[in-house]
Chains A and B, each alone.
Chain A
Amino acid sequence: MDFFRNFPFISIVFSLFSAVVCSLLPGKAARIWTIAAEAILALLSAGTLLYTVILGESVTYRMGHFGAPWGNEIRFGMLEALTALVFALVLLLSVTGGARYVIRDVPPKKINLYYLLINLLGAALLALVYTNDIFTGYVFLEILTLTSGGILMIREIGRTTLAATRYMILNLLGSGLFLLGIILFYDVTGHLLMPDMHEALLELGKSGEYALPLSVTTGLVCGGLAIKSGLFPFHTWMPDTYGFATPTSSAILSGLVSKGYIFLLIKIMTRVIGLDNPILTVARNILFLFGLLGIVAGSVLAIRQNSVMRMISYSSAAQIGYIYMGIGLGGTAGFAAAIFHLLTHAVTKPLLFLSAASLMEVSGDSPVFHDLQGAAHRNRGAGFLFTVGAMSMIGIPIFAGFTSKLLFSLAAIGHLPFKTFSVLVILAVSTILNTLYFIRTMIRIYTSPEGKKEDRTPFGPQLSCVLSGSVMAAMNVILGLQSQPVLALIERGLALFS
């Protein structure tokens, strides 16, 4: 059992090693290797989760022969392990479900490069989840940025290249701010390991030194990560990026990449700065405000779209807003709700993207609503899965989306009246808006044009897509029905976090 503590380290290094292997393999072998590697990652993460739950505390693991504050470290508790498990599973399911689109959209000789990048992306995500060192965080954050740009730009059409350029530019702005922020942190605290930085910050907080640079630094770090994860008003890259990328990449980008940044932000807030640190208050209120604006703006823009892919993209912008709203509410309840929503969204968005892509495939590869008419009959499996995803997004009970909205409203109660009120109102408004655009899509895909007989097929041509989509839908329902154990796990993990 004690060997299990090596699992996080093994999963990161193994994923990096798989990337090297994929560079030497031909495309098809690279795909099989990648799927196997992601499955192993999921198993290792499950093992870590089991180990931490049995152990009941968080483990600090030295990367090398030197402990804190000199060497690198990773650290994991239940929350890290749970997040890693969900990330690894979603990555596995996106890759298996989207293999078909990779073959369609990626030039045949570059398929192995695609899977290589997927492996690197998995390694970077896990490293961001597990790391206990802020500079390691920066390095893997850059790997995440570059690999996500790579899986985007691999589709060789002009609009995708343009979308990738825009994506990279905004991400680089975010990275620059983040890098300057952590360097200022280092300048003031003299440490790079998160717990040591936290101690130094506590001392500084008592003596009142460096109050101004610290607030600026907090602003830089939060701002940088907010830009990278696509918080309003920096969501503008989303529709083009998700709309023009190959659907597999859209699923991974929206479901996982932005979540990786947010998880790092949560980690820095809790573990480095400390939740009750006064320098965090302003930053949190600003994030809260932009989160609310993002929810409304994303939903309103989603309604105006004519293409299902762009609609889902704008809905992503709104969901990022939800997560930042939870972070902005603060407190254990707010953070738990934010993390629960993070996991919910990570399992729901890839499902929506992949099933929408399947629906498009039976509708002449067109994302326009008019062409999607009756698509759910032409591919019943994908239609059903899309409906599941949409209902979770709207917040119908038994699906995870309902639970996370409930958690947000519970977290809002007991704050300042203004905050409570605005959260509840925004939740209500956004639920109505979500309903509007998702119901519209569902009516579209289930009604045939008059006088036309659809040829009804159970799965369309994409069985693998429907199968992995079903697993994601099942995960969604599990998160929705068994929310109490998951929530308890998140709360215990959060307590161990700092």
Chain B
Amino acid sequence: MRNLVYNYEEAVAVVLFGIGFVTLLFHRNLIKKIIGMNIMDTGVFLFLASMGYVKGGSAPIYAENADFYVNPVPAGLVLTGIVVSVSVTAIMLSLAVRLHQRYGTLNLDEIYRIAREKINER
């Protein structure tokens, strides 16, 4: 328990991850699912950023007055993660646009109902 207080940033990060994960899994509204996915990714990025942090370290760019630097690896991983997250968000949003054009709603339950009614379209 005490460690959780020390590791408070990581703790917050996994809480965010959990919230995002469950929103993505259970929410019925597509846009909210996408928001959940973004929260989940943000949690992961926060986790990475706090993992590489060394107290008092400066950013990993050579400077004369710097004693020591924070870990540069997580920074690179966060960059990759952000790019992936942006890409996925763009694709999911365009799927949402297409579904809304076709079914007029973003609630997945509704969409399934309508799709079943339109079964003849195949």
Residues of A within 8 A of B (CB): 135, 138-139, 142, 146, 149-150, 153, 157-159, 161-162, 164-165, 168-169, 172-173, 176-177, 179-180, 183, 186-187, 192
| Structural contact, A157 and B91, CB atoms closer than 8 A | no
Q: A146-B87, A173-B25, A180-B17 are in contact. Are A164 and B47 (CB under 8 A)?
A: no
Whether B122 contacts A172 by the Cβ 8 Å rule is: no
Bound together, the chains give a CA A165 to CA B24 distance in angstroms of 12
Chain B contacts of A177 at CB under 8 A?
A: 21
CA distance A15 to B91 in the complex (A): 22
A51 CB to closest chain B CB (Å) equals 31
Which residues of the partner chain B approach A173 to less than 8 Å between Cβ atoms?
A: 21, 24-25
Closest chain B residue, CB of each to CB of A159: B115
Cross-chain contact A172 with B88 (CB below 8 angstroms): yes
The residue of chain B having its C-beta at the shortest distance from the C-beta of A150 within the complex is: B91
If A149-B91, A187-B51 touch, whether A179 touches B98 (CB-CB below 8 Å) is no
Query: Given known contacts A161-B98, A162-B99, A162-B112, is B80 in contact with A146 (CB within 8 Å)?
Result: no
Please tell me which one of the listed residues A135, A142, A158, A176 contacts residue B77 in the complex, with CB atoms under 8 A apart.
A135
In the complex, what distance in Å separates the CA atom of A153 from the CA atom of B84? 19
| Complex Cα–Cα for A183 and B102 (A) | 39
Task: Report how far A186 CA is from B74 CA in the complex, Å.
Answer: 9
Closest partner residue, chain A, to B119 (CB atom): A159
**Sampled A-B contacts (21; CB under 8 Å):** A135-B80, A142-B87, A146-B87, A146-B91, A157-B121, A157-B122, A158-B103, A158-B118, A161-B95, A168-B91, A169-B33, A172-B37, A172-B92, A173-B24, A177-B21, A179-B81, A180-B17, A180-B44, A183-B51, A186-B77, A187-B51
| Residues of chain B in range 83-99 having any CB-CB distance to chain A below 8 Å | 84, 87-88, 91-92, 95-96, 98-99
Tell me the bound Cα distance from A165 to B31 in angstroms: 12
Q: Told that A169-B24, A176-B24, A176-B44 touch, could you supply 9 new A-B pairs with CB distance under 8 A? A: A139-B80, A153-B98, A158-B115, A158-B118, A162-B112, A162-B115, A165-B95, A176-B41, A183-B77
